[in-house]
Structure 1
């Protein structure tokens, strides 16, 4: 299978400018070396747990059983809802956007039960991309790209690419703010879990003192390129790429 890929027959390259994907070449620079070390750690960690028949309670980061699924019926009495019209290629649907910490959820009211709704679409909040409509202040363009499950495929077509029109520009701005903050918050939650697994010290700064906490873990053997990263630097440099390209990518 590997010999069918022409780039595998060339001498190993280290530069991203070659166009060769990261998994098929040598790392270039400290960031890529750190990414490679983290991926190796995840593989060794998974193998260690499997050989010892131990259940991994930290991975996957997202538990499928805890997520809302399509066609689920939800109680919306205490939920924040924003009405919108979803413009698809062939039709327009009236939906309600639910504010959820981890998921992007579109609801259709249940005609049989007052205050309840049926989930018509849902996906992880971390994958949501929002852009303003240049011609209409009441509209947003929302795109959701599914993470690549096959390491040899660069990208998948978006599972949602639609125009959302709200009742007024205030609700539109509110929806954009909720989605942008929700995306950032969802990524920060997962990033915090990753730093805990990797034993990366987290620094808390106050007006008078600075406290550094270094968790203890039996897998504390990363290279110096990874242990010198703080949680903020890890999220800034990698932008959670390590999550998508690690053995836990199926859970994200």
Structure 2
């Protein structure tokens, strides 16, 4: 295309070729400043998310407790109560404790230093940092490390996650030798049978039963809601069509 001679450029053509300002290429923005309510709502949601992740372990255990409540009531599994959990202060050592009867116990803790020490000892293959000795006989109780993390079937009445398992052979006074930390505590959860390394068949069956009951309940309520809604629509249509039907019937009689 050839060059356009300046003599032939009319004012209209000059205005056409003149560079337009950049602002003319952009439409006015529809941005509106956020309201105070929206800002507060965002802060609240962020706080709830942080609280959820901060208490994720406890939420998981409580969810599992509710999840297995019905199977426990049916006697399919053993679910301990709050009275079967004992809190021990680890600010000083040794600690003397009385076990009233032979039972299996799981050691729970939420103390970060104790958890890190337990993981490091487990990785290196060393003996657990907890020693339990029967004061009358001098017999030492075998303490085993739990090689798993937190599971939904862990009791919510014990803080933290499980680290050790031991079984008391006879009732009596026992001495616990352990590292000390200011404010550190552990919870001893009493169990009737061992269910720590992997879920037992009873737990798997109970979870499957609960899932079936939950799905069946939700499906029943959903179908009932759909059925009632359909009947309501049919009744409305019948009420709307009834005057027209009566008018046609009366007209036919005449």
| Structure number having the greater helix percentage | 2
Structures share a fold, TM > 0.5? no
TM-score by length of 2: 0.24
